[in-house]
Structure 1
Amino acid sequence: MAAVLQLLLLFAVSNLCSAVHHKDAPFLHKKFPPYFMWGTATASYQIEGAWNVSGKGESIWDKFSHAGVIHNQDTGDVACDSYNKYKEDVQLMKEMGVTHYRFSIAWTRIFPTGKADSYNAAGMQYYKDLVAELKNNSIIPMATLYHWDLPQQLEDVGGWLNDTVIEHYRDYADRVFSELGDDVKLWLTFNEPFVTCWLGYGIAVHAPGKYEKPGVDPYICAHNIIRSHAKAWHTYDDKYRESQRGKISITLDADWKEPKTNSSADRAAAERAEQFKLGWFAHPIYKNGDYPKVMKEFVAKKSKAQGLPVSRLPQFTEAEKCMIKGTYDFFGLNHYTTQYVADKEDSSYVSYDKDQDIDVTVDPNWASSGSSWLKVVPWGLRSLLNWIKYEYNNPDLYVTENGVSDKNGTLNDTFRINFYNGYINNVLKAIDDGCNVKGYTAWSLLDNFEWRQGYSEKFGLHYVDFDDPDRPRETKDSAKWFKKLINTNGWEELKDASSPKYHPDGRLVFG
C-alpha cells in the first residue's frame, strides 16, 4: 500500500509540474524582486588560454585537445586570452551592469600536478588579481572550483575513477578557500558533474575520452565526485565559514523531461529520467545522502539480469550518507533545453543511459540553435524550477547557466535576444509560482572554446575574433538588450507606442 501511495504522489507532483508550465501562458510583464542578482559566466579552459605559462600544469583538456580530436583541431591554448585580457573582460561586465560574475579556477594553475606539494603561487596570483579587479568594479565574484579541467597527472592514475582523488580535491579546495575566501563569498564545488562522468568516462565525447565500461565507470566517477563535494563543503563549513561568511554549493545541469503522453507509464518514465540525471547528484546532497530510490532499483535490476552479484551502482556507507546530506547553501542550476520522454524497456546493452528504460525525443517544431542538442523550449525552465521546488523543499536557487549558440557569431543576434527573453520570463513566472530563485546568470560573457566543437559554436554576449592574435571583443545586440533588462530589473506593462513590442509567446517583434 505504501508503494502505491508513493507512486500516486509521484504522479501527482509530476502532473502539477507539467500543469504549471503553461506552454501557452502569456508573457509576464512584471519586475523581478529587488534582491535579484544578474550575472554572466565563463570557464577557465574555455577562455583563459596561457595553457603552459607561469607554472601551470597540464590538464586533461590540454591533452585531449592536443590529440587532434576537437572540431577543426582547435585547442584552448590561447582561447580568448583572458589570462592577459581579464581587465578588459571586467569592463565588458561593468558596461552591462551585472551584479556577479561566475568564473572557474584551473586546478592546474594552483597545484600543477594536482597535489598540494606542487603549489604554484603565480597561478594563485592570477585569480587574486581577477577577484580584486571584480571587486574594484563592484562585481561579486562567484567561483567554481572544478569546471572539467582535471590535472592530467591525477588522470594518469585513474582520475575520478580512483578514490584517492577525493583527498587531493579537498586539499585543493582548502588552499583556494584560504587564499581567496576573504573576498569570494559565493562558491561552487563542481560544474555539471553529470557531464564529467557520462561524457568523459562513459561515451568519450569529453576529456579524458574514456569509453571502456559505460555501465560502471560513470557511476564510480559520480560516487567520487559527490564524496569530494561533501569533503570540500565540510572543509569550508568547519574552517572558514565563521570568519569568511560565504556560501558554498554545487551546480548541476538538467533538462526538463516532459512526458511524451499523459499515460502513467510515460509520466513515470519522465520522472525516472529526471531522477537519473538531476537526482543522481541532487538527491544525495539535497535530500537524504543517498541515490534516488528509482535509480537504485533500476540499476540493481539490470545488474541482476547480467548475472552480477551486486549492483553496478556503488553504495554509500551510513557515515558517508550523513556526511553528504545537507551539503549545500543554495541550489545551482544550469539549464538549456527540454525533451519528451516515453517508457521503453531496453536490454540491448549495459550502460548508464540504457539502465533507465526510456525513449527520448524532441518536437520537430521546436526552434533549433547552433548546437544539435539545444532546442529552444522556454517553458521547460519554469517546469524544471517548479519540479525542484517540490522535490527539494524549495531551496534558494541561482540559475548559474542559461544561453544559446549560433554558428556565425553575428553581432545582430536577434535570435539570442528572443531566447533570453523567453527563458528569463519563465524564471519570472517561476518566481510568481513561489520558487525561490535568487539570481540568473547568462552563458556566456564571450564566444569561447566550446569543448568538442572548438570555436564553431558561439554562445557569447560578446563576439571574439579568433583569427586575430589580439582576440578583440565586440559587443553583440544581446549584450545591449541584457543591459537594459538588468537596468529595469524585468518588464512592466507596456503603455506607450515607443515601448518594445512582444509576441504573445514572448518574442520581441522588430520593425
Structure 2
Amino acid sequence: MMRRYCLVVVLCLVSSTQADINNKYFPESFQFGAAGAAYQIEGAWNEDGKGESIWDHFLHYNNPTSKVADGTNGDVACDSYHKWQEDVDNLKKLGVRIYRLSISWTRILPDGTPYRVNQEGVDYYLNLFKALKQNGIEPLVTLYHWDLPQHLSDFGGFLNPQLADYFAAYARICFENFGPYVKYWMTINEPQTTCGSGYSLGAHAPGYTLIDGGMYQCAYVSLLAHARAWHVYNDEFRAQQGGKVALGLVCGLSIPLDPNNPKDQEAAERNHLMGCASYGNPVYVGNWPQVMIDRIAAKSKEGNYPFSRLPQFTQEEIDLINGTSDFLAVNYYSSALVQYLDDFVGFPPNNLFDLNVLAFANQSWPQAASIWLTSYPEGLRIILNRLNKDYNPGEIIITENGWSDTGELDDQGRITYIQAHLSAILDSILEDGINVTGYTVWSLMDSFEWSTGYTEPFGLIKVDFNDPQRTRTWKSSAKYYQNVIATRCLLDQCQ
C-alpha cells in the first residue's frame, strides 16, 4: 500500500486518506486506553476535605468570563468524584487496558504539605484504582496535571525551587498508598504548558505574565521536582512495587517551511530544541540543549542582563535529573511549519524573542474546533522516530492524542483523526521497529478544557453539562474505538 512518510524533516503536506491506513493488526501486547485529568472531570472541588487548588482560586477570585471562553469552571465538571463507577463501567465496555488519570494534589494533601493527609481523598483513589484493576484496566497515574495547591502557589509555586521538596513529599505519600495498584506513573504532565501558559502568558492558572523569564524558572523547578520524585520511587519503592516513572512531554513535529532553505531548517531545529527537547534533553541527555543555553544567554546580554535569564543547572543537578525516566510518555496533537525570522533588535528580552521563529499550520491540514489543533498524523510517526533516535527510551507510550469539535454525537472528524494517528503509530511499530506499547486517547469523555471551558469537547463520550446528573452518551467515535480495541484492526478487515 502507499504510505507517505519522511525519514528526514521535509515537507510532506498531504492528508491521510483511507488508502494510507495501515491494514495490519496491532500486536497483542499493545495497550489501548483513554485519558482524563482530575480538575477537568472530578468536580467536588471543596468536598470531603479537599483543599483549594490554583484553578479553584484562579476562577473563583477572578471574573471567569475573562479567563474562560464560556465563563465556566471545574467545580462540578463531569462529577466523576461521585460517578466514578459509571466511568469505570464505560472504560470496561470500551475494552481498554489502560486508563490515564491524575490525582488531585489537594484531595490528598489539602494545603499541599505533608502535615495532614486527607484519608477521604486517599480512599477515593484507592476505590477507583481497585475497581480499575478488578476490571482488567491498568491505571496510568499522573501526579500533577496543572492543579497546584494554592497554599504552595502563594509562596512561589513553580518559581520556588523548594517546591521540588514538597512535590517529592507528595509523591512519596502517593507511592506509599497507591503503589500496589499502580505500575505506570507520570510525574508532571506537559510542564511546557504549565510554564508557558501559567507563568509567561497568563492564560492558565496561576495567571502570571512573567514573559521575560518566568517560563524558564518554572522549567528549572519542574525538572528538579520530577527528578526528586523519580528518585524517591527508585530508592524507596521500585524494588517492592516494580513500577515505572516518567515525565510527561508534549511534542509536535517542526517542519521547515522551505526544506531547501538552511535558515528555515535551522529555525525548525531550534523550535524543536527549545520546545520538546528543552524538557527531554535534561532527562535523557543531561542539561538544556546547547542552542537554548547559548541563545538565551546572548539575548539576555543584549538586554543588559549581567546573567542569563535561563537558570543554569549545577553539575549535581544535571546528574540528579539525567536518566530519570523508565519510559517515554509523550502527548502529540499536531505539527507546525516553521519559518526563520531575523532577530528582533531593541525589544525587551522575553521568551518569544528568544525563540524567534514563525510557526503555523499548513492550510491543507484539517482544522479542529480548537484554533491550535490541526491534523497531521504523518508528523507523529516522524517525531516518534526522532525521539527514539535521540533518547533511546526503550518504551514509548502516547499519553494524549485527540480531536476537538462542537459536540456532535456523530463525530466523524474524531474517528478520522484517531484512525490516522493510530495508523501512524502502527507504522512506527511494524515498519520502524519502535517499541510503542500504548495509546491513551484524549479524552474518555467531554470535560473542562481550561481556557475554552466546555466549548471545544474532546470526548469519546458526550457529557450533558446542563443535566445535574451529567448524563453520559456514547458518540460514534466511542463505538469505532471499541471495535478497534476488540479487533485490533483500524479497518473493516485486516491481514
1:131 alignment partner, one of 124, 129, 149: 129
Equivalent position of 1:59 in the other structure: 53
Q: CA deviation at 1:436?
A: 1.8
Q: CA deviation at 1:141?
A: 0.7
2:144 alignment partner, one of 135, 146, 149: 146
Equivalent position of 2:218 in the other structure: 221
Give yes or no for contact 1:448–1:460 (8 Å, CA) kept in 2: yes
Q: Which moved more, 1:486-495 or 1:189-198?
A: 486-495
Q: CA deviation at 1:350?
A: 2.3
Equivalent position of 1:268 in the other structure: 266
Residue 314 of structure 2 corresponds to residue 317 of structure 1:
yes
Equivalent position of 2:43 in the other structure: 49
Distance 2:21 2:436 in 1: 18
Q: Describe how 1:92-491 pairs up with structure 2 within 5 A.
A: 92-211=90-209, 213-262=210-259, 263-288=261-286, 290-347=287-344, 348-393=347-392, 395-407=394-406, 409-431=407-429, 432-491=431-490
Give yes or no for contact 1:30–1:492 (8 Å, CA) kept in 2: no
Equivalent position of 2:83 in the other structure: 85
Distance 1:274 1:487 in 2: 36
Distance 1:217 1:24 in 2: 37
AA at the equivalent of 2:47 = V
Distance 2:258 2:353 in 1: 21
Equivalent position of 2:8 in the other structure: 17
Q: CA deviation at 1:19?
A: 5.7
Q: CA deviation at 1:434?
A: 2.2
Q: Which runs of 5+ in 2 are unaligned?
A: 1-5
Give yes or no for contact 1:20–1:383 (8 Å, CA) kept in 2: no
AA at the equivalent of 2:116 = S
Q: CA deviation at 1:274?
A: 0.7
Secondary structure in 2 matching 1:342: strand
Q: Which moved more, 1:162-171 or 1:356-365?
A: 356-365
Distance 2:70 2:493 in 1: 47
AA at the equivalent of 1:258 = I
TM-score, normalised to structure 2's length? 0.94
Q: CA deviation at 1:353?
A: 2.3
Equivalent position of 2:3 in the other structure: none
Q: CA deviation at 1:91?
A: 0.5
Distance 2:494 2:122 in 1: 52
Secondary structure in 2 matching 1:231: helix
Distance 2:411 2:182 in 1: 33
Secondary structure in 2 matching 1:181: helix
Deviations 1:179-217 (A, max 9, x none): 000111110000000010010000001000001x31211
Q: CA deviation at 1:357?
A: 2.4
Distance 1:120 1:310 in 2: 43
Secondary structure in 1 matching 2:275: helix
Distance 1:415 1:346 in 2: 39
Give yes or no for contact 2:11–2:255 (8 Å, CA) kept in 1: no
Q: Which moved more, 1:295-304 or 1:144-153?
A: 295-304
Q: CA deviation at 1:494?
A: 4.6
Deviations 1:384-416 (A, max 9, x none): 111112211253100000000012x11111111
Sequence identity percentage: 42
Q: CA deviation at 1:59?
A: 0.2
Distance 2:214 2:280 in 1: 19
CA change 1:492–1:473 in 2 (3 A) is closer
Q: CA deviation at 1:118?
A: 2.4
Deviations 1:75-94 (A, max 9, x none): 10000000000000001010
Give yes or no for contact 2:303–2:348 (8 Å, CA) kept in 1: no
Secondary structure in 2 matching 1:17: coil
Secondary structure in 2 matching 1:18: coil
Secondary structure in 2 matching 1:40: strand
Q: CA deviation at 1:282?
A: 0.5
CA change 1:476–1:24 in 2 (3 A) is closer
Q: CA deviation at 1:63?
A: 1.0
Secondary structure in 2 matching 1:387: helix
CA change 1:171–1:340 in 2 (3 A) is same
Q: Which moved more, 1:295-304 or 1:353-362?
A: 353-362
CA change 1:368–1:20 in 2 (3 A) is closer
Q: CA deviation at 1:167?
A: 0.6
Distance 2:349 2:478 in 1: 45
Distance 2:483 2:491 in 1: 13
AA at the equivalent of 1:323 = L
Secondary structure in 2 matching 1:72: coil
Distance 1:306 1:250 in 2: 33
Q: Which moved more, 1:45-54 or 1:246-255?
A: 246-255
Distance 2:494 2:444 in 1: 32
Deviations 1:441-466 (A, max 9, x none): 10000100010111111000000000
Q: Which runs of 5+ in 1 are unaligned?
A: 1-14, 497-511
Secondary structure in 1 matching 2:115: helix
RMSD: 1.7
Give yes or no for contact 2:419–2:490 (8 Å, CA) kept in 1: no
Give yes or no for contact 2:15–2:364 (8 Å, CA) kept in 1: no
CA change 1:143–1:21 in 2 (3 A) is farther
Distance 1:32 1:443 in 2: 20
Q: CA deviation at 1:491?
A: 4.1
Equivalent position of 1:503 in the other structure: none
Distance 2:392 2:136 in 1: 32
Deviations 1:251-292 (A, max 9, x none): 11112111111111111111110111111111000112x000
Secondary structure in 1 matching 2:485: helix
